[in-house]
Amino acid sequence: MSVDKNPTIFTGFAEPDARQFDAWSHQPLLMSMEQGGIDWPSSCRNGTCRTCFSKLESGQVRYEIEWPGLSAEEKEDGYVLPCVAYPCSDVRLDYAGF
């Protein structure tokens, strides 16, 4: 994991009821949501199980692992894994798991 010496706070919204949280650039979205009191489904927390599978309704994320458990098509369609996705902007997430 790279060290972000100047982390940025973006604004995150977790649907369906637009719960707001501080989305820090230096940590995965899942961790920021939990720190904001949002209970988001998760299990492995390393990008493999897809329990946290979500739709990025707006914003941009980056990954520090080479290939999180998403297909290229899912990535293109805006799906993300918040346990390993780091925000690069304000974000709006909607849970898309089962």
Q: Return the percent helix, strand and coil in the chain, to nearest 5.
A: 10, 30, 55
- Any contact of residue 51 with ligand FES (CB under 6 A)? yes
Provide, rounded to whole angstroms, the least separation between the CB of residue 74 and ligand FES: 12
70 CB-near residues (< 8 Å, 6+ apart)? 79, 80, 81
The conformation of residue 81, written as its DSSP 8-state character, comes to -
Of positions 69, 75, 92, 95, contacts ligand FES by CB under 6 A? 69
Number of residues that bind ligand FES (CB under 6 A): 13
Residues forming contacts to ligand FES in the complex (CB under 6 A) are 42-45, 47-52, 69, 81, 83
